[in-house]
């Protein structure tokens, strides 16, 4: 860490220290070494950012939509042009493997590109009220919006949450996670560089209970987007409710990955690994953390899965392994705790369960077999490279098990029977269903949870609904 590695808050187009003068340290999870010092935003800084946003909003909302779109396009290009530096920064701050971090940066650029094209296509309807009237709707921005972002896809989620907000004419105050603040600040700086007016995109790093809570409870914030755990999502929604601030929540999951004997088992094996181990070390809300496998193929499938899992490479993100470190000491301890719970519930894992002897927050991909769906390792989100395998006998039981959790974010099925796939898609409680693959769906596909996995939808055209409010105008034209 050098003296230059001190990141300020981004308020009103300027990099500034926190009002308190305080900073906090962000660490490289592959080495546990300090990476940078970051200004520690809190209530007074959120106040400044919201005030700057409020002033910017009046001008931004009346900026011609095509001009807003052009600025978003410029930002997309700037992010794409800076991909090497942003990728390296993300790898060091979050720990994820290089190629995954690169895909996240590309995804961020793609969000700005996608929503740039939508900025001038947000319009309402005319409604055939009755003869003698003209009635129409206008989709207006909310105003100052707050984005509370987690640490698992830091740069990607900056794009996912702020791009639709800005395209629709809102201004944004983004609060990145304290573990991974750097890439959000870099995106904010690029926005200033490409010509976004000051105050349209503010970035306030800081701790959840300080900066996050101040943002969620701010009376002059008109919309909150939160991505993170269910427990924190509940707190955020309660804080926002005091001001009746609309909130959309993208929370956790315990998603079922269901494999039938008629599936292409080779594909199912590859995708199962990608779903829980090969993407951000399982630190993904849409991870396939419960494998429901049919009795007839259980032994052969799970044996081969264990072999392939044992072969996964594990190491610092800069080496581009299959599995990198977990993001922080806290997350490492949490996952270790669940590995111990798994041991007490079902015995030793069939693979993994230990941590390689090295610096950094590494945990080996771990599979528990013969898990009962009522166990804690089948019900609670672990958010790490830990898979629970559950056996089933028929379609009805598969659906029953798939739905028997508090979550409902995503679900996947592997089968070559088209009717079976559609029946599963119809009956499963999930906001997104994968058939014969896992995680497909880019910026264009709506994403969000059923049950305790959330409220509202991100991505695609649906996200624009979360960032606009509808005004109905009714005129009597025959007197």
Q: Is the Cβ of residue 48 or residue 175 nearer to ligand ADP in the bound state?
A: 175
Asked if residues 368 and 376 have their Cβ atoms less than 8 Å apart, the reply is no
Closer residue to ligand ADP in complex, CB, 24/207 = 207
* Minimum distance of ligand ADP from residue 363's CB (angstroms): 15
Identify which of residues 184 and 291 has a Cβ nearer to ligand ADP in the complex: 184
Q: Are 225 and 161 in contact (CB under 8 A)?
A: yes
∠ CA 36-39-41 to the nearest 5 degrees?
140
Among 150, 199, 278, 365, binds ligand ADP (CB under 6 A): 150
Dihedral of the alpha carbons of 109, 111, 114, 119, in degrees to the nearest 10: -110
Query: Counting contacts by CB under 6 A, is residue 178 touching ligand ADP?
Result: yes
Q: Residue 46 interacts with ligand ADP (CB under 6 A)?
A: no
User: Active-site residue 250, yes or no?
Assistant: yes
Catalytic site includes residue 140? no
Closest separation in Å from C-beta 394 to ligand ADP = 36
36, 157, 174, 177: residue in contact with ligand ADP (rule CB under 6 A): 177
Query: CB-wise, 100 or 232, nearer to ligand ADP?
Result: 232
Size, binding site for ligand ADP by CB under 6 A: 17
**How far separated are the first and last CA of the chain, in Å rounded?**
74
- 324 CB-side CA count, 13 A: 28
Estimate the crossing angle of helix 154-167 against helix 182-194, to 10 degrees: 40
Q: Residue 10 belongs to what H/E stretch? A: strand 9-11
Least distance (Å) between residue 132 CB and ligand ADP: 50
Asked if 229 interacts with ligand ADP (CB under 6 A), we say yes
CA distance linking residue 479 with residue 477, whole number of Å: 6
Encoded one letter per residue, x for contact with ligand ADP by CB under 6 A and - for no contact, window 428-447 reads --------------------
Question: Is 149 among the residues that bind ligand ADP (CB under 6 A)?
Answer: yes
At closest approach, how far in Å is the CB of 216 from ligand ADP? 5
Tell me which of 156, 225, 235, 322 binds ligand ADP, using CB under 6 A: 235
Sheet containing 133-141: order of strands? 126-127, 133-141, 468-476
Question: What is the contact mask toward ligand ADP in residues 186 to 225, using x (rule: CB under 6 A)?
Answer: ---------------------xxx--xx--x---------
Q: In the complex with ligand ADP, which residue's Cβ is closer, 40 or 294?
A: 40
228 lines the binding site for ligand ADP (CB under 6 A): yes
Tell me how far apart the alpha carbons of residues 61 and 360 are, in angstroms, rounded to a whole number. 46
**Near ligand ADP by CB under 6 A, which window of 11-19, 142-150, 185-193, 464-472?**
142-150
175 near ligand ADP (CB under 6 A): yes
Name the active-site residue from 285, 381, 458, 465.
285
Q: Is 236 in the site for ligand ADP (CB under 6 A)?
A: yes
Are 78 and 131 contacting, i.e. CB atoms less than 8 angstroms apart?
A: no
Residue 226 CB, shortest distance to ligand ADP, in Å, is: 7
The Cα 97–Cα 80 span in angstroms is 18
Distance of CA 74 to the CA centre of its chain: 23
Half-sphere exposure of 372 (CA within 13 A, CB side): 6
Looking at the Cβ atoms of 69 and 384, the one nearer to ligand ADP is 384
- Which residue has 């679900």 as its token pair? 411
Catalytic residue among 90, 179, 186, 250: 250
Stretch that binds ligand ADP, among 15-23, 146-154, 404-412, 464-472 (CB under 6 A): 146-154
CA 419 to mean position of chain CA atoms: 31
* Pairwise CA distance, residues 92 & 86, whole Å: 10
From the list 148-156, 159-167, 253-261, 470-478, the region that binds ligand ADP by CB under 6 A is 148-156
How far is residue 435 from each of residues 277, 421, 449, measured CA to CA in Å? Answer: 19, 7, 17
What is the DSSP code string of 380-426? Answer: S---SSEEEEEEE-SHHHHHHHHH-SSEESEEEEE-S-HHHHHHHHH
Tell me the three state secondary structure of residue 48: helix
52, 202, 232, 466: which one binds ligand ADP (CB under 6 A)? 232
Rounded Cα–Cα distance for residues 323 and 309 (Å)? 10
Closest distance to ligand ADP from the beta carbon of 282 (Å): 13
State the nearest-atom distance from the C-beta of 26 to ligand ADP, in Å.
13
97 vs 212 by CB, closer to ligand ADP: 212
Q: Which residues bind ligand ADP (CB under 6 A)?
A: 148-150, 175, 177-178, 207-209, 212-213, 216, 228-229, 232, 235-236
Active site residues: 250, 285
């Amino acid at each position: 860490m050098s003296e230059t590695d001190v990141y300020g808050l981004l308020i009103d187009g300027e990099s500034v220290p926190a009002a308190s003068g305080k900073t906090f340290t962000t660490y490289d999870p592959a080495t546990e070494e300090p990476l940078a010092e970051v200004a520690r935003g809190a209530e007074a800084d959120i106040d400044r950012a919201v005030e700057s946003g409020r002033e910017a909003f009046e001008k931004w909302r009346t900026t011609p939509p095509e001009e807003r779109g052009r600025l978003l396009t410029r930002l997309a290009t700037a992010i794409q042009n800076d991909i090497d530096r942003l990728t390296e920064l993300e790898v060091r701050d979050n720990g994820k493997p290089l190629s995954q971090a690169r895909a996240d940066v590309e995804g961020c650029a793609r969000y700005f590109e996608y929503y740039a094209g939508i900025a001038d296509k947000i319009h309402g309807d005319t409604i055939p009220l009755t003869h003698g009237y003209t009635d129409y709707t206008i989709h207006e921005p909310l105003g100052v919006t707050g984005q509370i972002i987690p640490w698992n896809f830091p740069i990607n989620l900056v794009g996912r949450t702020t791009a639709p907000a800005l395209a629709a004419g809102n201004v944004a105050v983004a609060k990145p996670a304290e573990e991974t603040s750097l890439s959000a600040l870099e995106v904010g700086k690029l926005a200033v560089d490409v010509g976004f007016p000051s105050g349209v995109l503010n970035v306030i790093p800081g701790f959840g209970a300080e900066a996050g809570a101040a943002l969620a409870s701010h009376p002059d914030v008109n919309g909150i987007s939160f991505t993170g755990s269910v427990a924190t999502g509940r707190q955020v929604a309660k804080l926002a409710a005091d001001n009746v601030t609309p909130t959309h929540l993208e929370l956790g999951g315990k998603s079922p990955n269901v494999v039938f004997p008629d599936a292409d088992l080779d594909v199912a094996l590859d995708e199962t690994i990608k779903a829980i181990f090969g993407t951000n070390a399982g630190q993904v809300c849409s991870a396939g953390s419960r494998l429901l496998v049919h009795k007839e193929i259980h032994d052969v499938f799970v044996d081969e899965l264990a072999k392939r899992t044992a072969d996964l490479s594990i190491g610092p993100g800069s080496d581009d392994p299959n599995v990198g470190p977990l993001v922080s000491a806290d997350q490492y301890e949490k996952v270790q705790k669940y590995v111990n719970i798994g041991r007490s519930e079902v015995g030793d894992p069939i693979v993994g369960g230990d941590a390689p002897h090295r610096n950094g927050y590494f945990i080996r991909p771990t599979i528990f077999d013969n898990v009962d769906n009522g166990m804690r390792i089948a019900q609670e989100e672990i958010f790490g490279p830990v898979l629970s395998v559950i056996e089933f006998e028929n379609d009805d039981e598969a659906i029953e098990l798939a739905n028997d959790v508090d979550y409902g974010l995503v679900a996947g099925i592997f089968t070559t029977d088209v009717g079976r796939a559609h029946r599963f898609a119809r009956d499963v409680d999930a906001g997104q269903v994968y058939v014969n693959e896992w995680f497909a769906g880019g910026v264009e596909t709506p994403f969000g949870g059923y049950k305790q996995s959330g409220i509202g939808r991100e991505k695609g055209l649906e996200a624009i609904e979360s960032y606009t409010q509808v005004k109905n105008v009714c005129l009597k034209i025959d007197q």
